[in-house]
């Protein structure tokens, strides 16, 4: 049994933390990875794809780190096309997003079980790692062959740092061991990552999450409505279509917003407590900390989904 990885990869969600990791490696502050892997649900905002293009062009390529964009395989019996939006509206497929429905008591909203992250993000990464290791499915990966996978978990969310679910992957979390945090402690917080990104000209790093993710909080829905009207219209249309489609595995009417109202009628102008805190302190750190408490606003990472307030349907 060896402890030497055959391969070292970065799980590149393209959000704040994983972007910081890629820049740190490109600067030589972290060892270089053999590959960076981005899982594409097919329904990310355009600015995430633009960010990824720029990252690849300006950071990964000059540093010699290949970026692989992977998506779930299409054409199988489950009618998966690789585009989460399209697949979620396919009458023959199961709902894969954690939409809201009325619970059994008829009183409260409940979320249906989330399958999208596993299907559309985790599985494609695992398949790519196996391919890069030289053991694509169904070839068994020998017990002593594994890849080390770096994941962008910051100190404020350290509880999300977990072992990989398969033997051929071993997770590491380099941000948790970084020096130079603003508070002098070991490990970078999301705020440290944001400050670093700003200092390197990457302060506009977007949150990576599907346009119509039900984990969006009111702040994120307003951001879409007020600043990205095409994406807002796309989400409103998707929300509407969800209820026009007979979806397998779900009986109650599905909604993207917790209020169980159509998205364009939902009370998204209601301001949460953390947002008030954010508004009252205009310092950059205060804003970032308030945002960090608003879990659903942080985007979706393959290995550490940041909106995990799941409830049984």
Residues that bind ligand SF4 (CB under 6 A): 41, 97, 114, 116-117, 120-121, 209-210, 213, 215, 300, 305
Sheet holding 147-150, edge to edge: 67-70, 35-39, 7-11, 147-150, 169-172
Q: Which is nearer to ligand SF4, 94 or 135 (CB)?
A: 94
Shortest CB 119 distance to ligand SF4, Å = 8
The three-state secondary structure class of 45 is: coil
Cβ distance 304 to 224 under 8 Å? no
- Least separation in angstroms between CB 45 and ligand SF4: 11
What is the C-alpha end-to-end distance of the chain, expressed in Å? Answer: 44
The residue (of 30 and 117) whose beta carbon lies closer to ligand SF4 is 117
> How many CB atoms are located within 10 Å of the residue 160 CB?
16
Least distance CB 87 / ligand SF4 (angstroms): 11
- Report, in Å, the least distance between residue 34 CB and ligand SF4: 25
Q: How far is the CB of 72 from ligand SF4 (least distance, A)?
A: 11
Alpha-carbon gap, residue 15 to 206, rounded angstroms: 6
Q: How far apart are CA 121 and CA 210, in angstroms?
A: 11
CB 257 to ligand SF4: min, Å = 14
The CA distance from 77 to 113, in Å, is 21
State the SS3 of 90-150: CCCCECCCCCEEECCCCCCEEECCCCHHHHHHHHHHHHHHHHHHCCCCCCCCCCCCCEEEE
Residue 64 beta carbon to ligand SF4: minimum distance, rounded to whole angstroms: 30
User: Rounded distance, CA 31 to CA 55, Å?
Assistant: 18
Region for residue 75 given its phi and psi (left: phi exceeds 0; alpha: psi -120 to 50; beta: otherwise):
left
Q: Is the peptide bond before 138 cis (omega within 30 degrees of 0)?
A: yes
CB nearer to ligand SF4: give 245 or 285. Answer: 245
14 or 26, CB closer to ligand SF4? Answer: 14
CB of 210 to ligand SF4, least distance (A): 3
Comparing CB distances to ligand SF4, the nearer of 187 and 299 is 299
Q: Which is nearer to ligand SF4, 187 or 307 (CB)?
A: 307
Of 30 and 209, nearer to ligand SF4 (C-beta) is 209
Nearby residues of 38 by Cβ (< 8 Å), 6 or more positions away: 12, 13, 14, 52, 67, 68, 69, 70
**Tokens for 56?**
């690849």
Instruction: Please identify, using beta-carbon distances, which residue of 30 and 213 lies nearer to ligand SF4.
Output: 213
């Amino acid at each position: 049994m060896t402890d030497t990885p055959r391969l070292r990869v970065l799980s590149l969600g393209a959000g704040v933390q994983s972007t910081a990791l890629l820049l740190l490696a490109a600067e030589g502050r972290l060892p270089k990875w053999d590959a960076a892997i981005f899982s594409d649900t097919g329904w990310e905002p355009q600015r995430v794809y633009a960010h990824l293009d720029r990252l690849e062009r300006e950071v990964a390529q000059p540093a010699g780190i290949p970026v692989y964009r992977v998506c779930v395989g299409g054409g199988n019996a489950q009618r998966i096309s690789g585009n989460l939006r399209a697949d979620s509206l396919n009458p023959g497929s199961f709902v894969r997003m954690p939409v809201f429905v009325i619970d059994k008591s008829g009183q409260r909203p409940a979320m249906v079980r989330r399958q999208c992250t596993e299907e559309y993000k985790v599985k494609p990464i695992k398949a790519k790692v196996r391919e890069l290791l030289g053991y694509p499915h169904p070839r068994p990966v020998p017990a002593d062959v594994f890849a080390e996978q770096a994941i962008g978990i910051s100190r404020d969310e350290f509880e999300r740092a977990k072992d990989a679910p398969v033997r051929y992957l071993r997770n590491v979390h380099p941000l948790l061991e970084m020096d130079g945090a603003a508070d002098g402690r070991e490990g970078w917080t999301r705020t440290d990552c944001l400050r670093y990104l700003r200092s390197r000209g990457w302060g506009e790093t977007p949150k990576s999450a599907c346009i119509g993710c039900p984990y969006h909080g009111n702040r994120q829905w307003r951001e879409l409505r007020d600043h990205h009207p095409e994406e807002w219209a796309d989400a409103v249309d998707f929300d509407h279509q969800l209820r026009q489609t007979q979806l397998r595995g779900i009986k109650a009417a599905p909604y993207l917003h917790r209020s169980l109202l159509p998205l364009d009628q939902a009370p998204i102008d209601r301001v949460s407590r953390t947002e008030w805190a954010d508004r009252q302190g205009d310092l950059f750190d205060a804003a970032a900390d308030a945002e960090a408490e608003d879990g659903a606003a942080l985007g979706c990472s393959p290995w550490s989904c940041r909106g995990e307030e799941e409830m049984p349907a």
